[in-house]
Amino acid sequence: MTLQECYNAIGGNYAEVFARLHSERLVRKFVLKFLDDKSYELLCVSMAEKDYDEAFRAAHTIKGVCQNLGFDRLLESSSKLSDALRHGWTPEADVLVEQVKEDYCVTTAAIREYEKECEEH
Amino acid sequence: MQKRNKTMRYLTLSLIGVSISCVCVFCFLVKYMNRQSENTINQLGNVYMASINERISKHFETMIDLRLTQLETLVETIPSNTNSDSDSKELREWLEYSAKARGFESLAYYFEDGSFEMLYGEQVRSLNPEPFQEAMQNGERKVSVGVGEQEEKVAVMGIPFDVEMQDGRDCIALVGKLPIEYLSSTLSLGDRDTMVYSFVIRKDGSFVVSSYDSVRDNYFDRIRALYEEVDGKGAEQLIVELQEAMESNKDYASMVQLYGERRQLYCSKMPMSEWYLVTVMPYGTLNRTIEDMGGRSLKVFVVSCAVILLVLLFVFQRYFKLNRDQMLELERARQQAEEANRSKGEFLSNMSHDIRTPMNAIVGMNAIAMANINDTKRVQDCLKKIGLSSRHLLGLINDVLDMSKIESGKMTLNVELVSLREAMDSIVSIIQPQVKEKQQKFNVFIYDIFSENVRCDSVRLNQVLLNLLSNAVKFTPEGGSIEVSLHEVESPKGEGFVRILMRVKDDGIGMSEEFQARIFDSFSREDSKRVQKTEGTGLGMAITKYIVDAMGGEIEVKSAHGEGTEFCVTLDFERAEEMEDDMVLPDFTMLVVDDDQQLCESTVASLKSIGVRTEWALDGETAIQMVNEHHKNHSDYHVILLDWKLPGMDGIRTARELRRQLGNDVPILLISAYDCSEIEAEARAAGISGFLSKPLFRSTLYYGLKPYSEPASELPQPEKVEVDFSGRRILLAEDNELNWEIANELLQDLGLKLDWAENGQICVDMFSQSEVGFYDAVLMDIRMPVMNGYEATDVIRGMDRPDASLPIIAMTADAFSEDIQRCMEHGMNAHMSKPIDMKEITRILSKCFFGGGQESRPIDSVEWREV
């Protein structure tokens, strides 16, 4: 699985990221690093604890990371979620967080698979 | 109407009233002036006559006095040897001799008893002896009338003369006689040559000296016989008045009429006698003068009266007219107001209907969706319909809002720099989907636009063109064609302005003549079955017209039923400062293929102005021929521009043919007013190298053709940013490690050294513990735990150290304008949205460090802001 294929699976825009970072090595490095990012856990915990300020920040951070990495699909859902949480809880937030979770799973699954292949080579 | 009649009647009556009073006043004036001048003449006559009488009296007095003095001299010069005490013979002889020598006809002694003793001459007797006798006894001098032997009248004058008669009688006076003619001739009374004649009468009316034409002895008889009644005064009354005046020794003046002619009579007493001098002056001459004067003044009065009446008439007439005009104006205004009111009423009812339709759809669809909430397809369909209806509703409401803004005068123009190219591009892209939906032919023509940048209100300009275009789309059936063109001509407003003619033309259903007349009125919509189905408020054209008017332009419409409609908008725009690049292309030879000749010519002109020689063809076949000829001559065109929709062989087929003959060397560009994305694949396959979308402005051509002007290897590549920021140190506040690493990785490439602060608090701490000037800038994430970016910026800005004002650049995943605004409010210098873009961050940092661009300039003190 190439990085490009990985991006396709994630629903991301490889060309854009490449244009910005100019290096596959860097892209790969950051993409793999995404797995270590704690924002998602923070989001899940905050939502469960109904700490919506923190949840907003977590969603916002995910949005920022996705912007940097060109993960367009997760970017879209996290962006909607952060908008919904911007001024505290709103009814949509609960629906949107599910979407974020789904997208996050898809994303991390794809990255893990890619990581596995990288290690194999 | 009744009020109008009332006003007219009032005006007419007052005109008549004013005219009548004017005439009356003038008549009175004429009469009064005549009376006044008559009186004046009377007075003048009296004064004149009085002086004549006085003169004659004086003359008379002098003459009588002379005669009496002669008598006295007679007495005084009696020789001393003569015995003067007694009536001696010598004395008588002396007296006779001396008196004769002095021309006295006779001389007599006068005795106390009133008897005369003649010294010589004829015997006389006094006609009125008493006063004479009395005067003589008192030793006074007097003249009187006497009668001679032939009963002829004589003047008798006496002086005191005391001599003792030999017979013992006492003589008291010496009396001389003179013929009465002597008096009249000496006094020259009744001179035929003068207007004035006088005569002398006595109290009883008898003439002493009569006038030349008098046949009677008594003046009173003459009055009775000849004098006519004048001013109600008869002859007898005149005699009475005259006698009374004589009795009381007063001067008397009166108007008399004789032989039908008015005369002035004046009577005064003569001295040393019981005589009265009467002078009569005929009025004829004087009267004529007066009458002349009266006549003249009458004429003047009549003329002035007429002039005043005419002026009055004129003023009234003008006033009438003004009044009538005003009335008509009022009537018109009233009708207009009623009309407006009615059309507003109609409009409201239409509008309610128009609003109800989409609203019903929304409510209905909403209900259907609720009832079928689990049927996703159904719900989607409902939502789609709700969306459409809502947009329609929003359009209606927007129109009404605009109109109410206009009606309340709140719509103002927001003049700014506008690129006509950008404006037209956006209009074309908005209208394209609608055109496509109705499968209409659409074309955009730009002729001779040399000033692409003008100053106007772009939003309103868009509104005008979109209104016209969406109308065209709306009222043109499927498959019809729509054309929009822009054309620049010289503006009559001068050098700094350009006149842009915009034309929107369709071959749709057109409009009736009557409707064209009121198309720009508010709240009107052609009320025919054809347009019943068409949506819209009918306000669009009124709004359009208003905007065009507000921009100082004109809008015209030409249309006929079934033949389509053409709108022409003429606007004068201020030419914006030339800020375009110096647009020059290499010395190309190009071919333009379009079925519109004018567009070809205009494109050729535009291309020529950017340095390109161009030929043109109107169809594909001709184009192929021309290309072949050039190919044979080994002078291939550098670029070929092909219109997509060509008659006969269309652009793509032509391109295919050209590629077959020419190979792949020459770039062929497709020009079209349509969205080319659909045909892109087909076009690319046919050998089209690129696309140019209409409208073809000069800059469109320049920027579209520029890539082909450079060698193929130099086609635009993503620019590698190469700026050296080495040695600069940046504090990056970012709570997410991944983001930090990305930023670090990227910025290191620029030679920057980065320190990481994991939140706002750490950032503040690190900054405060650093040496002054250690950090060159701070990149600040906004959403951070513990302390967010805004707070951290506030703390840093509040620090008491010289570098507290270092550049702080916000870095955030949000790009809402209120966020940017908030960044600025907290004293940040610039805002950068994620993802980190090298180009953008280089630009911003360059500006931070070098004060703009990439030239190395020291940071100046001018505060800069980047929004």
> Does residue B428 surpass a pLDDT of 50?
yes
Report chain B residues whose CB lies below 8 A from the CB of A29.
741, 745
Residue contact B737–A61, C-beta within 8 A: no
Helix axis angle for B737-748 and A52-69, nearest 10°, is 30
How does pLDDT run across B10-38, given as a tens digit for each residue?
878 888 888 888 888 888 888 888 888 87
Residue B166 has what pLDDT?
Answer: 75
Two structure tokens written together for B222:
């003459």
Residue B785 at interface with chain A, using a CB cutoff of 8 Å = yes
pLDDT above 70 for B594: yes
Q: Do B835 and A39 touch (CB under 8 A)?
A: no
Q: Give the nearest partner residue to A30 out of B738, B784, B785, using CB atoms.
A: B738
Q: pLDDT tens, B474-499? A: 888 888 889 898 888 888 888 888 99
Which tens digit of pLDDT belongs to each residue from A41-63?
888 888 888 888 888 888 888 88
Flag whether pLDDT at B416 surpasses 70: yes
CB neighbourhood size of B18 (10 A): 16
B735 touches chain A (CB under 8 A): yes
- Is the pLDDT at B605 greater than 80? The verdict is yes
The two three-digit tokens of residue B572, written as one number: 């004068």
Report the gap between the CA of B522 and the closest CA in chain A (Å). 43
Which region among B224-228, B247-251, B579-583, B741-745 has the lowest average model confidence (pLDDT)? B579-583
For residue A64, give the nearest of B741, B834, B838 by CB distance. B834
Among A19-28, B301-310, B554-563, the minimum mean pLDDT is found in A19-28
Per DSSP bridges, beta strands B639-643 and B668-672 are: parallel
Alpha-carbon distance B821 to B611, whole Å?
45
pLDDT score for B865:
42
Predicted pLDDT at B175: 86
Is A13 in the B-facing interface, judged by CB distances under 8 Å?
A: no
Dig out the tokens for B627 from the structure: 């290309």
Distances (CA, A) of B444 to B345, B440, B452, B484: 39, 13, 16, 5
Q: Measured between CB atoms, which of A20, A37, A82 is closest to B837?
A: A20
Residue A64 near chain B (CB below 8 Å): yes
* Nearest-CA distance B838 → chain A (Å): 7
Instruction: Name every chain B residue with its beta carbon within 8 A of the beta carbon of A37.
Output: 736-738
Q: Which two tokens stand for residue A94?
A: 């609960």
Separation CA B562–CA B475 (nearest Å): 10
Assign B192 a pLDDT band (cuts: 50, 70, 90): low
Q: Do B783 and A68 touch (CB under 8 A)?
A: no
Kindly give the residue spans of alpha helices, DSSP state H, lying in B372-443: 376-407, 420-437
- The amino acid occupying position B471 is N
Quick check: B842 contacting A, CB < 8 Å? Answer: no
Q: Which amino acid is at B513?
A: E
Q: Which residues of B touch A72 (CB under 8 A)?
A: none
A26, A64, A70 ranked by CB distance to B736: nearest: A64
Q: Convert A31-68 to b/e letters by CB count within 10 Å (16 or more is b).
A: bebbeebebbebbbebbeeeebebbbbbbbbbbbbbbb
Contact present, B574 and B454 (Cβ < 8 Å): yes
Q: Which of A29, A30, A65, A107 to mutate to test the interface with B (most CBs of B within 10 A)?
A: A65
> What are residue B156's phi and psi, to 5 degrees?
-115, 130
Q: Do B813 and A20 touch (CB under 8 A)?
A: no
Q: Which residues of A touch B736 (CB under 8 A)?
A: 37, 39, 61, 64-65
Instruction: Using the predicted structure, report yes or no on whether residue B77 has a pLDDT greater than 50.
Output: yes
Q: Residue B316 above 90 pLDDT?
A: no
Task: Look at residue B364 and tell me whether its pLDDT is greater than 60.
Answer: yes
Contacts of B334 (CB under 8 A, 6+ apart): none
Chain B contact probe: residue of A14, A20, A35, A53 with most B CBs at under 10 A: A20
Q: Give the mean pLDDT of chain B.
A: 81
The answer to whether the CB atoms of A57 and B781 lie below 8 A apart is: no
Instruction: Name which of B567, B570, B606 is nearest B590 in CA terms.
Output: B606
pLDDT tens track for B430-467: 888 888 888 888 888 888 787 888 888 888 888 899 88
Question: What pLDDT, on the 0 to 100 scale, is given for residue B648?
Answer: 80
Cα atoms in the Cβ-side hemisphere of radius 13 Å centred on B598? 9
Does residue B146 carry a pLDDT above 90?
Answer: no
Query: What would the two tokens of residue B678 be?
Result: 């659909």
B51-76 per-position pLDDT tens digit: 887 887 788 888 888 888 888 888 88
Contact B783 A57 (CB under 8 A): yes
**Alpha-carbon distances of B683 from B620, B639, B662, rounded to whole Å:** 15, 16, 16
Residue in chain B lying closest to A68 (CA):
B835
Task: Search chain B and give the residue with CA nearest A69.
Answer: B835
Note every long-range contact of A42-49, with CB atoms under 8 Å and residues 24 or more positions apart, other chains counting: A43/A97, A43/A100, A44/A101, A47/A93, A47/A97
Chain A residue numbers touching B735 (CB-CB < 8 A): 61
Q: A interface mutation test: which of B720, B732, B742 has the most A CBs within 10 A?
A: B742
CB within 8 Å: A61 and B783: yes
Percent of chain B at pLDDT exceeding 70 = 90
Strands (E), B561-657: 564-575, 589-593, 613-617, 639-643
* Nearest CB to B736; choose among A19, A39, A70: A39
* B529 close contact with A: CB closer than 8 A: no
User: Average pLDDT, stretch B414-423?
Assistant: 84
pLDDT digits (tens, 9 = 90+) for B263-296: 888 888 888 888 888 888 876 666 677 778 778 8
Q: Which residue among A22, A30, A82 places its CB closest to the CB of B742? A: A30
Q: Is the pLDDT of residue B721 over 50?
A: no
**What contacts B351, CB < 8 A, 6 or more positions away?**
B396, B400, B537
| pLDDT band at residue B582 using 50, 70 and 90 as cut-offs | low
Lowest mean pLDDT among A99-108, B554-563, B571-580: B571-580
Where would I find the H helices in B712-855? 737-748, 760-769, 789-798, 817-825, 838-850
| A19 inside 8 A of chain B by CB | yes
Interface of B with A in 703-732 (CB under 8 A): 718, 720
Residue B561 · residue B516 · CB < 8 Å: no
Q: pLDDT at residue B537 above 80?
A: no
The reported pLDDT for the residue numbered B580 is 55
pLDDT given at position B862: 34
Mean pLDDT of B506-511: 87
Tell me, what's the pLDDT at B3? Answer: 66
Would the pLDDT of B867 be above 70? no
Report the alpha-carbon distance of residue B87 to residue B91 in Å, rounded. 7
Percent of chain B with pLDDT over 90: 5
C-beta atoms of B737 and A26 within 8 A? no
pLDDT, residue B570, reads 93
Dump pLDDT digits (tens) for B634-688.
Answer: 778 888 888 888 888 888 888 888 888 777 778 888 888 777 777 777 888 888 8
| B701: nearest Cα among B336, B450, B394 | B450
Q: Per-residue pLDDT averaged across B725-741, rounded?
A: 85
| Cβ under 8 Å to B: A residues 66-85 | 67-70, 79, 82
- Residue A35: DSSP 8-state: G
Tell me the C-alpha distance between B108 and B380, whole Å: 168
Closest-CA residue of B relative to A82 is B814
| For range A27-35, the mean pLDDT | 85
- Confidence (pLDDT) at B566: 92
Alpha helices in B282-375 (DSSP H): 284-371
For B736, which of A22, A61, A82 is closest by C-beta distance? A61
Q: Which residue of B has its CA nearest to A40?
A: B736
In the prediction, which pLDDT does B335 show?
93
Write the residue in B718, B737, B741 that is nearest to A19 by C-beta: B718
Identify all chain B residues contacting A68, using CB atoms and an 8 Å cutoff: 738-739, 742, 834-836
| Token pair in block for residue B281 | 């002056």
Residue ranges of A 23-52 with Cβ closer than 8 A to chain B:
26, 29-30, 33-34, 36-37, 39
Give this prediction's pTM: 0.41
pLDDT band, very low/low/confident/very high, at B723 (cuts 50, 70, 90): low
Residue of A nearest to B746 (CA): A21
Cβ within 8 Å, pair B835-A68: yes
Q: What are phi and psi of B574, to 5 degrees?
A: -75, 130
Interface residue B746 vs chain A (CB under 8 A): yes
Query: How far off is chain A from B788, nearest CA to CA, in Å?
Result: 10
Across the interface, which of A21, A22, A67 has its CB nearest the CB of B834? A67
